[in-house]
Amino acid sequence: MTATPDSTLAPVRRSKADLQRELAELHRRLDERTRERDEALQRETATAEVLQVINSSPGELAPVFDGMLEKAMRLCGAAFGLMMVADGEEAPTVASRGVPTAFAEFRRTNPVSMAKGPIFSRLLAGDAIVHTLDLKDDDAYRRGDPLRCATVDLGGGRTSLMVALRRDREVVGAIHLYRQEVRPFTDKQIALLQNFATQAVIAMENARLITETWEALEQQTATAEVLGVINSSPGNLAPVFDAMLEKATRLCGASFGILLNYDGQRFRHAALRGIPTAYAKFMQEHPPIYGPDSAPGRLLAGEDLVHVLDMTDTDLYRSSEPNRQAIAELAGARTVVAVPLRKDDALMGAIVVFRQEVRAFSEKQLSLLQNFAAQAVIAMENARLITETRERAADLQEALEFQTATSDVLKVMSGSVFDLQPILQTVVTTAVQLCRADQAVIYRHQEGEYRWAAGYSLTPEYERIEREVTIRPGSGTLIGRVALERGTVQILDAWSDPLYEVKDDARVGGIHTMLGVPLLRDGFPIGAIGLARRRIEPYTEKQIDLVRTFADQAVIAIENARLITETHAARDEAEAALRELQTAQASLVHAQKMAALGQLTAGIAHEIKNPLNFVNNFAGLSVELLDELKETAAPGIATLDEDTRAEINETVEMLTNNLEKISEHGKRADGIVKSMLEHSRGVTGERREVDLNALVEEALNLAYHGARAQDQSFNITMERDLDPHLTPIALAPQEITRVFLNLFGNGFYAATKRASEAADGFRPVLLVTTRDLGEAVEVRVRDNGTGIPPEIRDKLFQPFFTTKPTGEGTGLGLSISYDILTQQHGGTIEVESEPGAFTEFTIRLPRQ
Amino acid sequence: MSVSILVVDDEPDVAELFRQHFRREVRQGTYVMHFASSGKEALARLSEGIRPQLIVILSDINMPGMDGLALLREIKQQWEDISVMMVTAYGDDERRRRADEYGATEFITKPVDFALLKQQLQSLAGPPANLG
């Protein structure tokens, strides 16, 4: 520093002043800086606080706006403030602070569009801020603008500052601060408020982004849920439509919604959501007809989207179209949007959602609806494909079941050719199972009537009835109607069918829908299959065809059985005839053999008889002659010497003995010849009615005493089992007695013979049994003797066959008995025997 | 006085048999025995005439050529009064009936009961006292 004395003071003074000035300036600047610093600090604090609020409630703007307004007012020294956000034409208040009660009350009762106010208009016009020094000293106040007057007079507002919230130059809202005195806002305060405005826009943007993310998430969730429902109920569209409509209604902020189906002719309600009760009732009573001017009608005409802002502001409403009126008045519908469900230009339905206020749906909501519509189309297509696949699978399954059933029946048929019943049973059982019937019967024709042949799954009570009835052709019964019409008959409900007469029986059986199919042979119903259901449900063509197949099979089975039965009967008959023939032939051969033997025997007897007579006669004569010789020669012989005399006498004696032996054996031969001649005697005995039991008794006595006469030691137990009800029979008593004597004698002989060979305990028994068989009489002669070995049984009745020692039997007894029984009486004689146990002869004599 | 008996049989030994059985009567001269071995021979002998008086013909039925029954008919047609006894081994009803029909005096079945035959002959010839 350089200065003179004189001049030094002056400059000092000047310097001091300068210094004081500079100091003041420095103080001022310090204060300013301090203030700036404080303001900045406050601003930054406020900003930080606002940011904190923004961060703490992401997506929610109300608390952000509120906090922002509070801070702005504080920092800018405002008495009260408002914040609004543009929404289309309007700019509704989103936050307010410190508004005097009277003014707040005015605002509440007089909703005045801030957006149309003079200040906001300037923002829209492009101003960044509108700083009004005195609201009262202004044209608007002076011309009596109601909002301005209220602001000034009720709110006491004087100096006001409005800052625009801008995003990409577009006004999206505003902050409006008021002072109740005339004092302008400083530049810094203005800048601070602008900063807040910027932050508010950021917050709004954040919120928007967050909301969009949320919405997107929600929509995606909804879509995913709908897809989940589609997947979880494939083929079943109702839950899909329900879920879809619920979400569409909710996400689009609609009050209620309708999902419609279009089948190519008319619309049907596929899902309803939140329909107000009054309109729901109206719809029930008056099913809506969607004409060309209705929303669905317009979609049908080709529109891709129908968006009606106000249902009451439409020609259709004004034309008093009932549904439009009802939906507006009963459901309160105002804004509506309808999107089509379209597949390849074909309308398949529509989603229609309604709002109960006039508020347009956003683009996003519209696209969401369209998205749902697309999903609905996919779901419907899926359902159609699934249904088709299922139907084809079901068809295939059914065809398989039918074929299996058919082959089952065929198997049973081939397995039981001789027995019809299992086949018919299989038919009814299979028919019930495959035709979803509850019971089935088969009736068969029998002399003009139809009777029960087989049944399955009837209630016991009903089956009792059905088994008993005989059905004639007629409309009153299922089987009767089938027989009458000779064709398939379906009765939808037996309980109400006017011609069906046995309704009581149907009630007992609990059956409604019936199907009857005839069993036709050459066009004639030889039977019928009847099916019944415990519900009303007609039988499908496939089921009817199946039952027809069964009927055909049953006819074949019945025919087979009939043919087989006939064949069998014919075979049995032929076999029986053959057996009879063989028997007859055998007995004829036997009889002829016997007759031939008899004739031969008689012939031999005749031929032997004459020479035998000579033998006997001459032997007898020779004895006489020898006697005469002895007498005549006696005197001469007496003269001879003793030796000679003795020799002569001895020779004569021997001759006499020889002649006597010749006589004796000759007589024996004569006895045989006489027996042999019995064969040729023919019927000699006279026939008369006799009591066979008495004849048996008599013959037993004779035989017994005859045997006793020959052998004193003879003894046998004779048992009788004589039928007390035996009526007299015509026969030749003498001949039959001969037969009895023969058989009894044989029995005595065999039993005695066994007794002689057996241990001491053996008791010979002869049992005689008689039985009246009606057409014939049977006599059995049984002894417990030695029995007859099988190998000689065939020879029993042959002449000369005997097992007795020579001289004891002629071998003609049974032969003659055989002749008497078979030739003379047309009867039979059979023998049964077990060697060492018994022999039993069975005689049958027919009544003539 | 003797009477004649004619025995007709194709069996030669029958004659011997009768001769031996009637040997005493023949020896005593009660009966004179004549024999013929066929119906034809019997008829020839009858035509020649048999002496002494013929009281009976004993004929077998079963003979070759003319059988006994045919002979019986022939005899009865020509000599109605001559007694004929039929002798047969076949004692069946048919022959008996026909023998009766043709007028046989007796029907005798073989073997011949000679004792009975002698009684029957006696009753035909009458008591022996009348014979003289």
pLDDT digits (tens, 9 = 90+) for A631-665: 888 888 888 888 888 888 888 888 888 888 888 88
N- to C-terminal Cα separation, chain A: 191
User: Does the beta-carbon distance from B111 to A617 stay under 8 Å?
Assistant: yes
Set of chain A residues whose Cβ sits within 8 Å of the Cβ of B17: 614, 617-618, 621
Cβ-based neighbours of A609, under 8 Å, separated by 6 or more: A670, A673, A677, B89, B110
Q: To the nearest whole number, what is the mean pLDDT of chain A? A: 84
How do residues B62-90 score in pLDDT, each as one tens digit? 888 888 999 999 999 998 888 999 998 77
Average pLDDT score over residue span B85-111: 86
Nearest neighbour of B21 by CB, restricted to A610, A614, A621? A621
| pTM metric for this prediction | 0.36
* Predicted pLDDT of residue B129: 43
Task: Measure CB to CB from residue A613 to each of B21, B90, B110 and give the nearest one.
Answer: B110
CA–CA min distance B5, chain A (Å): 20
- Judged against a pLDDT cut of 70, whether residue A96 lies above it is answered with yes
Give dist(CA A25, CA A31) in Å, integer. Answer: 10
User: Burial, A395: exposed, middle or buried (Cβ in 10 Å; 0-12, 13-18, 19+)?
Assistant: exposed
CA angle A313, A319, A320 (to 5 degrees): 95
Min CA distance, B125 vs chain A (Å)? 25
Contact criterion met (CB < 8 Å) for B20 and A606: no
The string of pLDDT tens digits covering residues A766-810 is 999 999 998 999 999 999 999 998 888 888 888 777 777 766 677
Q: What pLDDT shows up at residue A747?
A: 92
Cβ of A616 within 8 Å of Cβ of B110? The answer is: no
Chain A positions touching B90 (Cβ under 8 A) are 606
Band of the pLDDT at B130, cuts 50, 70, 90?
very low
Q: What is the DSSP string of chain B?
A: --EEEEEE-S-HHHHHHHHHHTHHHHHHTSEEEEEESSHHHHHHHHHH--SS-EEEEEEES--SSS-HHHHHHHHHHH-TTSEEEEEES---HHHHHHHHHTT-SEEEESSP-HHHHHHHHHHHH--HHHH-
Check residue A52 and give its pLDDT. Answer: 64
pLDDT for A525 beyond 90: yes
Which two structure tokens, joined as six digits, stand for B17? 């048999």
Split at pLDDT 50, 70, 90, the class of A191 is: confident
pLDDT at A476: 92
Residue A54 binned pLDDT confidence (cut-offs 50, 70, 90): low
More confident residue, A809 or A275: A275
Q: Is A625 on the interface with B (CB under 8 A)?
A: yes
Helix (H, G, I), strand (E, B) or coil at A669: helix
Q: Name the closest residue on chain B to residue A666, using Cα atoms.
A: B111
Substitution target from A604, A613, A618, A627 for chain B, most B beta carbons within 10 A: A613
Closest residue of chain A to B12, computed from CA coordinates: A614
Q: Does A610 touch chain B (CB under 8 A)?
A: yes
Please indicate whether, in this complex, the C-beta atoms of A610 and B89 are within 8 angstroms of each other.
Answer: yes
Residue of A nearest to B14 (CA): A614
A265 reaches B (C-beta below 8 A): no
Which range, of A134-138, A390-394, A554-558, A805-809, averages the lowest pLDDT? A805-809
Which tens digit of pLDDT belongs to each residue from A373-408? 887 887 777 777 777 777 777 777 777 777 777 777
Name the minimum distance, in Å, from the CA of B111 to any CA of chain A: 6
- The tokens describing B13, both together, are 């030994």
At residue A746, does pLDDT exceed 80? yes
Interface check A674 vs B, CB under 8 A: no
